[in-house]
Amino acid sequence: MGPKPVILDVDPGHDDAVALMMACGSPGLDLLAVTTVAGNAPLAKTTRNALRVLSLIGHTGVPVAAGASKPLGRALRTAEDIHGESGLDGPEIPEASFEPDERSAVELIADTLRGSVEPVALIPVGPLTNVAAFLKAHPDLKGKISRVSLMGGSMGLGNTTPAAEFNIYVDPEAAREVFESGLPITMSGLDVTHQAGADKAQRDRLRNLGNVGEVVAGFLDFFAGTYERAFGFDAPPLHDPVAVAAILEPALLRTRTMRVDVECKGDLTRGETVCDVRGVTGKPPNADVGVELDREGFFDLLHDSLRRL
């Protein structure tokens, strides 16, 4: 079997940057396109960061298209407290050596799916605005998507409110569209991404990797500092790379199939992914929800991918 074709939708973001590098360094994946969305920072910054990261690792042949600059029906909430003013603070990396594609994210996703013989996995690791917009504009192309492997949500606690995880909180209406799309979904929520904490030992291992290892470790040192200040622990979760790993090496993620509904209105619970773990709603399941990550296997896969860059 050849490499699996994928499209990454990102809002870099430190863990998004690592997810991009992981996808580029994995012989098991064929990264066909990258789309950007507003989330961790405004769209101009997340697009600049995606282009800079791909330039740094010499992957300038992959088309990068900018997408939504704000959620479907709300004002944008960003996360400079976690990712810094640029959206990717920490080690200075050079400006991009290539330009974004002229197409919009929705157009690029559509063209990429049309042009692929095999169905393509969509890996959205920011707010789900672009994916929802794509599904609305091109329902006829749904059959070309093999799976949506998303980073977002939680079966338990949130990280932006007590109930909601950031990506879902920012655009709950978009998330609801995606969860109700009928597409096969793997949800890597905080329950599993917090099992991928980049502690000091893992950051040092990355630092000693050679090539991009030092930059990645530097990004994660910055990320560790903001996590320490915001949440009181300094092993920042590699949230977004888990959604990449779930396509690359699905056996690393133990999942349970269940119904997930997104709360869009609750005063206290907006953006909550309400996971019917016990099957009490009687509604048909719509997601394979990550419940356990093989942490050692995940970090080995990450190192293996980055080493190849």
Give the residues lining the site for ligand BDR (CB under 6 A).
13, 15-16, 40, 79, 82, 125-126, 151, 159, 165-167, 239-240
Nearer Cβ to ligand BDR, position 49 or 144? 49
What DSSP letter does each residue of 32-45 carry, written as one string? EEEEE-SSSS-HHH
Note whether 165 binds Ca ion by CB under 5 A. Answer: no
- Which of the choices Ca ion, ligand BDR, none does residue 148 contact, using the CB cut-off of 5 to 8 A by kind? none
Among 4, 6, 8, 13, binds Ca ion (CB under 5 A): 13
Q: Note the residue count of the chain.
A: 309
Pairing of the two strands 4-10 and 120-124 = parallel
Q: Which is nearer to ligand BDR, 110 or 242 (by Cβ)?
A: 242
Gyration radius from the chain CA atoms: 17
Nearer to ligand BDR, 218 or 285 (CB): 218
Quote the least distance from Cβ 235 to ligand BDR, whole Å.
14
According to DSSP H, which parts of the chain are helical?
14-25, 43-56, 80-83, 105-115, 129-137, 166-170, 172-179, 190-193, 200-207, 213-231, 239-248, 295-307
Closer residue to ligand BDR, CB minimum distance, 176 or 239: 239
Between the CA of residue 47 and those of 11, 34, 105, what are the distances in Å? 7, 10, 11
- Of the pair 221, 240, the CB lying nearest ligand BDR is at 240
**DSSP element (H, E) containing 150:** strand 145-151
> From residue 268, how far is each of 84, 158, 164 by CA, in Å?
27, 11, 9
Helix (H, G, I), strand (E, B) or coil at 281: coil
The active-site residue out of 14, 59, 194, 239 is 239
Contact track, Ca ion, 203-242, x by CB under 5 A:
-------------------------------------x--
Site for Ca ion in 238-257 (CB under 5 A): 240
Return the one option of ligand BDR, Ca ion, none that residue 79 interacts with (CB less than 5 to 8 A, by type). Answer: ligand BDR
Q: How far apart are CA 101 and CA 95, in angstroms?
A: 16
Whole-number minimum distance, CB 13 to ligand BDR, in Å?
Answer: 4
CB of 20 to Ca ion, least distance (A): 10
Shortest distance, CB of residue 219 to ligand BDR, whole angstroms?
12
Conformation bin of residue 90: beta by default, left when phi > 0, alpha when psi is -120 to 50: left
Q: Which of 9, 16, 171, 261 binds Ca ion (CB under 5 A)?
A: 16
14 labelled catalytic = no
Nearer to ligand BDR, 110 or 248 (CB): 248
Q: Does 9 bind Ca ion (CB under 5 A)?
A: no
276 binds, among ligand BDR, Ca ion, none (CB under 5 to 8 A by kind): none
CA pair distance 137, 160, nearest whole angstrom: 30
Please name the residue that has the structure tokens 């949440």. Answer: 231
CA–CA gap between residue 131 and residue 301 (Å, rounded): 27
Among residues 29, 67, 308, 22, which one has the least CA distance to residue 147?
29
Binding partner selected for residue 46 from Ca ion, ligand BDR, none, CB under the kind-specific 5 to 8 Å limit:
none
Q: Which does 166 bind (CB under 5 to 8 A by kind): ligand BDR, Ca ion, none?
A: ligand BDR
* Interaction of residue 126 with Ca ion, rule CB under 5 A: yes
Q: Which residues bind Ca ion (CB under 5 A)?
A: 11, 13, 16, 125-126, 240
The residues assigned a catalytic role are: 239
